[in-house]
Amino acid sequence: MKNFLIPLLLFVLCISCTSTKNSDEFITKTTGRYLFNANEVIEVYFKDKELLIKWRGKEGIQPLKINDSSFYMKELNEKMIFISLPKTHIKLAEKTEHKGVEYLFHKMKAGDKTPTEYFEAKNYDKALKAFLEIKKQDSLSPVIKQYTMNRTGYNYMKNNEFEKAIEILKINTHLYPKSSNTFDSLGDAFLKAKDTANAIENYNKSLSINSENSSSLRMLKRINKE
In three-state form (DSSP H/G/I as H, E/B as E, the rest C), the secondary structure along 129-182 is HHHHHHHHHCCCCHHHCHHHHHHHHHHHHHCCCHHHHHHHHHHHHHHCCCCHHH
Residues 192 and 50: their CA atoms lie apart, in Å, by: 50
**Is residue 104 helix, strand or coil?**
strand
Tell me the residue type at 129.
K
Question: Which CATH number does the domain 115-225 belong to among 1.25.40.10, 3.40.50.12160, 3.40.50.2300, 3.55.50.30?
Answer: 1.25.40.10
Q: What is the pLDDT of residue 20?
A: 87
pLDDT value, residue 19: 81
Using CA atoms, how far apart are residues 111 and 74, in angstroms rounded to an integer?
29
Mean pLDDT of the residues in the chain? 92
Please give the average per-residue pLDDT across 178-187, as a whole number. 98
pLDDT at 5: 54
Long-range Cβ contact pairs of 119-124 (< 8 A, separation 24 or more): 119/164, 119/167, 119/168, 119/171, 124/167, 124/170, 124/171
Q: In the chain, where do the E strands start and end?
A: 32-37, 40-47, 50-55, 58-61, 64-65, 70-73, 78-83, 89-92, 104-106
**Helix (H/G/I), strand (E/B), else coil: 100:** coil
Residue 160 Cα to chain centre, angstroms: 24
The amino acid that residue 27 corresponds to is I
Helix axes 162-175, 146-158, angle to 10 degrees: 170
Distance of CA 117 to the CA centre of its chain: 9
Pairing relation of β-strands 78-83 and 70-73?
Answer: antiparallel
Tell me what pLDDT residue 198 has.
98
Quote the pTM value: 0.84
Is the pLDDT confidence value at 124 over 90? yes
- C-alpha to C-alpha distance for 167 and 174, rounded to whole angstroms: 11
> What is the rounded CA–CA span in Å between residue 220 and residue 205?
12
In this predicted structure, the answer to whether residue 18 has a pLDDT above a threshold of 80 is no
The CA distance from 54 to 111, in Å, is 17
Kindly tell me if the per-residue pLDDT of 220 is higher than 70: yes
SS3 71: strand
What is the percent of the chain where pLDDT is above 90?
Answer: 86
